[in-house]
Amino acid sequence: MTGPVHPTPDAISTLRPLPLTDLTFASDGFLGAWQRRNATRSLPYCIGQLDAAGALDNLRRVTGEADGEFQNMWFADSDVYKTLEAAAWQLGRSPDDAELRAFVDTTAALLAKAQGEDGYLNSYLTLVEPDQRWRKMHWSHELYCAGHLVQAAVAAARAGVGAEVVTVARRFADLIVERFSKVDDVDGHPEIETALVELYRVTGHRPYLDQAKRFVDLRGHGLLNDEHFGAAYLQDHVPVREADGVAGHVVRQLYLLAGVVDVAVETHDEELLAAARRLWDDAYGAKTYLTGAQGSRHRDEAFGDPYELPPDRAYGETCAAIAGFHWNWRMLLASGEARYGDEMEQALYNVIAGSTALDGTHFFYSNTLHLRTGHDGSHEDAPSGRLPWYSCSCCPPNLARLLASLSGYAVTADHSGLQVHLYAAGELRTTVDGVDVHVAVRTEYPWDGRVELTVTTPALITLALRIPSWATEARIDGQPVAAGDGYAEVRRDWSAGATVILDLPMPPRVVRPHPRIDAVRGCVALARGPLVYALEQADLPDGVTLEDVRIDPTAPIMTGRLPDVPRTLIAGGTVSPPASDELYSSGVDTEERGGPLAFTAIPYFLWGNRKPGPMRVWLPVAATR
Amino acid sequence: MTGPVHPTPDAISTLRPLPLTDLTFASDGFLGAWQRRNATRSLPYCIGQLDAAGALDNLRRVTGEADGEFQNMWFADSDVYKTLEAAAWQLGRSPDDAELRAFVDTTAALLAKAQGEDGYLNSYLTLVEPDQRWRKMHWSHELYCAGHLVQAAVAAARAGVGAEVVTVARRFADLIVERFSKVDDVDGHPEIETALVELYRVTGHRPYLDQAKRFVDLRGHGLLNDEHFGAAYLQDHVPVREADGVAGHVVRQLYLLAGVVDVAVETHDEELLAAARRLWDDAYGAKTYLTGAQGSRHRDEAFGDPYELPPDRAYGETCAAIAGFHWNWRMLLASGEARYGDEMEQALYNVIAGSTALDGTHFFYSNTLHLRTGHDGSHEDAPSGRLPWYSCSCCPPNLARLLASLSGYAVTADHSGLQVHLYAAGELRTTVDGVDVHVAVRTEYPWDGRVELTVTTPALITLALRIPSWATEARIDGQPVAAGDGYAEVRRDWSAGATVILDLPMPPRVVRPHPRIDAVRGCVALARGPLVYALEQADLPDGVTLEDVRIDPTAPIMTGRLPDVPRTLIAGGTVSPPASDELYSSGVDTEERGGPLAFTAIPYFLWGNRKPGPMRVWLPVAATR
């Protein structure tokens, strides 16, 4: 069963993804438990919300099965499609889930019934503005919704569930190709590009790929116009090949870049691939938060200027983090370079993990790195706690589809052997060049850096293990390997079976920002392994205000535990209250030197799971005496 | 000729404003030259833009004098009214200006013709949504526009020009009172409150005051609703009397607070006045930029959390700074406390002065304190240079009306004598308790702190001189006076005439932020007298990037000159480039110690008048070796 993103044999692809079902995460491991929570809590919850929020009813209104007016966002069909995609991946891995099968089957039937005779399918346009079809491309999200329909169909096809969805999606895709191969137009919200390439991969039907390439190349030529938001918001400000930095609406930019890489590798377009690398350097060199989040501006949901990374006003949309994960995966497959795996890991264990509450049914849309004392939390895009749903609820179903297919992103193969990118307890049964390989992985990663890989295969293959960029040292079977080289390779004949022990020591560490990140000048962050830590008001003694805590980065940092927190970090510093109430002063000292304090930080992804309250990732450094 | 804000004799009013025409700024002084530029450049330009942008045509469409569809923002009538108000103040001071008189007369005639038989006047509602009158109070701005019409009429009445405008405004105000005295409703954008109190002051018609009080008291009870923006944006989140902090859309909050003080002083409502003081403490204690700008968020044009004051993402709308100036003036009149005068001065010489280019015809809508290298300047609310006009161009006419009436805000009287709040070269001829007083002021303020006041009056009166909060020392006739006490009083018999010399030394100073302002941690700003200084890329040597400049706050700061800049500041520090390109690192040093640098800072209000480029007010402090 093929997973998400499966380049054709002819594509530029240094690494090859493994079938989704070849790797099973252990249910007591970190990723396995998370994936199980997704299957048992988040995904069923999302399915329920499709009814509660009216998204399914919109389609039923098209078929005449429901009354009333169109509800929810005009692009609410996409919530149905993303949830359907999640259900398809999940059902492919758990074919006996009758409830899930019923959801997939009834939804597929509904879509087939709602689809127009010509293949068109969009409940908002059909119900509310039927005469505006394809006429408001900057705003309508018609191709965006179509793209998610196609993605759901790709998942259904690869998982072998819901052939009816595939038929619906192909009919719509054929209509799109028929129209848009002749007129110069693109959608204000990218998504169709990557979707059409994936549909080409599933069907082998070349016009889908050609159309995707056409959509990529038509951007940046003034086809879209919106006075209020401007061209960058719509990803129409510059031809992709000429862009030298990421800009505009983050999710739109990143969805487009996933499509750009897909088109580039399938069409052997090195110029386009170089553009993607250039934009990656800009994004990850100057426009990414420590947690892997992206998007510095609530206004226009946008990337900011280089180094504009305010922790308190981080937009950091959950969908953007998922989109970044998708983009990095494509870059990793194309190049085999570890830095892409590093960024996948950083986002996964921090911003993405943090976006969902421990209960699996509350979510952040925007993922801040700093909640200030006095925050009013009034706006739903920056609440002081995770919310059960949003008026625009694109993120929860996006999480569901990522988690349902997560095992597809951990290990790849090439002609020489296997590459392990994400470490998780579990079991892999696959074939490399026709030879069976079995790998059992035991690890408590990300809480502990010891990873035991027991390999059995009647062949000489290379096991390449990603050495994360955070690691300052690494050992394989007790022997030091060079850190910072990307992958450590173990080439052996494994016919008798052998266990390789990768050890990635995880001493707590102090992270310093680039000096151009003005917003966190004079601050450091705490991290351990791939996990970024945060300090919550909830963990401070009574009477100590979060804003007054200063860290001494030279003091030793210890590890500890709390309920639900396997590893805390205990650091030292001071409590330094303001020396005066004056907002601006000409005096020399603005804060008291303060008394000593030891404080406990928890992993960022766990914040806000107790009582809501102030939190910060970046901690001001104590003044030296 | 009475100026803006003229409390009735019965009002709570510690200080009394002087007639607008009693004080004349010298045309070669700072404020006088600015006011002259407004009269000769900015105001005629705004009048021209009313035609160019279609605002006058909308009204002509109502009367049948123009064809075509409604243009511009739905509240564009307010641009006409604010410009008309500016013209009225200016014409009152320069009655021989024939062009201005023609504008006032023709506009008044147009308004009279456009007004409905029942007194209603709003071109958008009349032309576009006639059946929605008074039905979209959260959004329509009907009472906001009406408020500005009333303000224009108040100016016309006091200046003795355009009686027709007064008739139009009263007819509309009477309609408003008739309707809204019976239904519980308020406007999503405050303005009508202060306008109706002022109209009551002009006419003595009590129902206007009662209605204003009613509008103030109806807020915070859930009358307005907008799913997207929320209650605080519309100033409906809490009853004013119960509010303990400023919140929501800054301009709306501040316009409301002007009305709150007006209502409180006229109705002797101490509870309401206490609420205004509480909100002032919050606004100026935790939510104001060093330049006097307010509004930390582009999203929703809102105040942020306490101490959330990012210099790069400052919204700092020009209209908000003007509204804050208006609010402080009302607080000053009510209380006589110098801190309100301090904040008027701070905003006037920094954010307000900076909002207009030296040519008088280019404006900032949003006033940033930091433009980063790499800023794309793509959005019109945060451009990298002043623009000639905006799609929502509320700010330029607002500046025009403030400047046209500026001499009304500098000096007040009480039974004991005169109080000087703003220092400007000029001449005052007024009466205090029926006795003629003449004061000639000679000063180069704000470039120099020496102020010579030559007083002639056949009476014993007190001359109270505001000692600005920035002053660390002050002398009157060579004798030290206590700084920080607000006003220094000189009580004399002036019958022979006497000159008082106030000396406010202006050594360059280093300003430090409150330690809770995270966004400028580790930075200081430069200031001299009331002027905040800024460092522009344009003043750095070739090859030095603004971001790499570090200041040594212990090094001496000298003064200098540049073309168009009477006083620059020359400070010392280092050029400290990043030690690596890594966005986050576990190393200890993130920047090079760098080589020495002397650099020139210019007054903030002058930035962006040469070639556009990076600028910053807050300068990172050099690491100590």
Q: CA-to-CA distance for B465 and B287, rounded, in angstroms?
A: 28
Q: CA-to-CA distance for B563 and B582, rounded, in angstroms?
A: 40
pLDDT of residue B373: 86
A66's tokens: 């429901």
Sheet holding B479-481, edge to edge: B23-25, B426-432, B435-443, B450-456, B498-503, B474-476, B479-481
pLDDT of residue A378: 65
Does B351 have pLDDT greater than 60?
yes
pLDDT of residue B588: 67
Whether residue A306 lies within 8 A of chain B, CB to CB, comes out as yes
Average confidence (pLDDT) over B124-131: 97
A45 contact partners, CB below 8 Å, separation of at least 6: A360, A361, A396
Query: For residue A182, how many C-alpha atoms fall within 13 Å in the half-sphere facing its CB?
Result: 5
What share of chain B in percent tops pLDDT 70? 98
Best CA proximity match to A343, nearest among A254, A268, A247: A254
Q: CA-to-CA distance for B464 and B282, rounded, in angstroms?
A: 28
Does A168 have pLDDT greater than 60?
yes
Compare CB distances from B521 to A580, A583, A620 and report the shortest one's residue.
A620
pLDDT (tens digit per residue) in B278-320: 999 999 999 999 999 999 999 999 999 999 999 999 999 999 9
Average confidence (pLDDT) over B309-335: 97
Q: With beta carbons under 8 A apart, name residues in chain A contacting B523.
A: 518, 521
Does B507 have pLDDT greater than 70?
yes
Best CA proximity match to A471, nearest among A418, A407, A525, A527: A527
Q: With beta carbons under 8 A apart, name residues in chain B contacting A591.
A: 515
Helices (H), A233-269: 250-267
Identify the closest residue of chain B to A300 by CA–CA distance. Answer: B299
| Preferred mutation among B343, B350, B554, B586 to probe A, highest tally of A CBs within 10 A | B586
Does B625 have pLDDT greater than 60?
no
Whether residue B590 lies within 8 A of chain A, CB to CB, comes out as yes
pLDDT of residue A380: 72
> Residue A325's pLDDT band (boundaries 50, 70, 90)?
very high
Helices (H), A268-349: 270-286, 318-335, 338-347
In total, chain A counts a number of residues equal to 625
Compare CB distances from A512 to B312, B470, B585 and report the shortest one's residue.
B585
The 3 state secondary structure assigned to A393-420 is: CCHHHHHHHHHHCHHHHCEEEECCEEEE
What share of chain A in percent tops pLDDT 70? 98
Whether residue B6 lies within 8 A of chain A, CB to CB, comes out as no
Whether residue A181 lies within 8 A of chain B, CB to CB, comes out as no
B273 contact partners, CB below 8 Å, separation of at least 6: B12, B261, B264, B265, B334
pLDDT of residue B597: 96
Average confidence (pLDDT) over A194-210: 98
Across A363-372, A479-488, B604-613, least confident range: A479-488
pLDDT (tens digit per residue) in A331-359: 999 999 999 999 999 999 999 999 999 99
pLDDT (tens digit per residue) in A355-393: 999 999 999 999 999 999 888 766 677 788 899 999 889
Across A18-22, B74-78, B594-598, least confident range: B594-598
Residue B236 one-letter amino acid: D
Whether residue B625 lies within 8 A of chain A, CB to CB, comes out as no
Does B340 have pLDDT greater than 70?
yes
What share of chain A in percent tops pLDDT 90? 92
Average pLDDT, chain A: 95
- Could you tell me the CA-to-CA distances from A8 to A11, A512, A592 in Å, in that order? 5, 42, 63
pLDDT of residue A435: 93
CA dihedral B352, B353, B357, B358 (to 10 degrees): 160
Contact B378/A232, CB-based, under 8 Å?
Answer: yes
Any idea what DSSP says for residue B591? Answer: B
How crowded is residue B358: how many other Cβ atoms within 10 Å of its Cβ?
15
Whether residue B372 lies within 8 A of chain A, CB to CB, comes out as yes
| Preferred mutation among B290, B371, B378 to probe A, highest tally of A CBs within 10 A | B378
pLDDT of residue A612: 80
**ipTM summary value:** 0.94
pLDDT (tens digit per residue) in B233-265: 999 999 999 999 999 999 999 999 999 999 999
How crowded is residue B174: how many other Cβ atoms within 10 Å of its Cβ?
15
Average pLDDT, chain B: 95
Whether residue B567 lies within 8 A of chain A, CB to CB, comes out as no
pLDDT of residue A593: 76
Contact B583/A284, CB-based, under 8 Å?
Answer: yes
> Residue A588's pLDDT band (boundaries 50, 70, 90)?
low
pTM: 0.94
pLDDT of residue B230: 87
- Whether residue B105 contacts residue B165, with contact meaning beta carbons closer than 8 Å, is answered with no
Query: For residue A11, how many C-alpha atoms fall within 13 Å in the half-sphere facing its CB?
Result: 28
pLDDT (tens digit per residue) in B148-168: 999 999 999 999 998 999 999
pLDDT of residue B484: 65
pLDDT of residue A620: 97
Q: CA-to-CA distance for B606 and B534, rounded, in angstroms?
A: 9
Contact B620/A515, CB-based, under 8 Å?
Answer: yes
Smallest Cα distance from A581 to chain B, Å? 7
Contact A512/B586, CB-based, under 8 Å?
Answer: yes
pLDDT of residue B383: 80
pLDDT of residue A228: 79
- A/B interface, count of CB pairs below 8 Å: 176
Q: For A97-179, where are the E strands, in sequence order?
A: none
